[in-house]
Amino acid sequence: MMLVLLAISLFIIIGLIEVPGLIKKKQQRELIAFSILLLPGMVITIMLSLNINVPNPVTGIEYIVEHIVHYVSTFAGRFL
């Protein structure tokens, strides 16, 4: 539980350091991108600190790429 509080505290500190500058410079797109990247990072960090098994994203990427390659090779085979 202590690691979860530490993780949350660190992400809050990161937000407090970065967000005001983005708002001051009116960088709304950067603020959105920052938030989109920070939130999953925080969730994954909390999950890891709670010893929850986090799936490897490479497995999903490999699955998608294999299907795309198979589709493209089948499609290209019709024209060769």
pLDDT tens-place string over residues 21-60? 999 999 999 999 999 999 999 999 999 999 999 989 899 9
Tell me how many degrees the CA angle 71-76-80 measures, rounded to the nearest 5.
155
- 49 Cβ neighbours under 8 A, 6+ residues apart: 3, 4, 6, 7
Mean pLDDT score of the chain, rounded to an integer?
Answer: 93
Contact 3, 49 (CB under 8 A): yes
- Per-residue confidence (pLDDT) for residue 80, from 0 to 100: 63
67, part of any domain = no
74, part of any domain = no
76, part of any domain = no
28, part of any domain = yes
Query: Is pLDDT larger for residue 76 or for residue 18?
Result: 18
80, part of any domain = no
Contact 42, 5 (CB under 8 A): no
Count of domains observed in the chain: 1
Residues of the domain holding 15: 2-55
User: What type of residue is 77?
Assistant: G
Tokens of 4: 């979860």
pTM of the model: 0.69
69, part of any domain = no
List, in sequence order, every beta strand (DSSP E) within the chain.
none
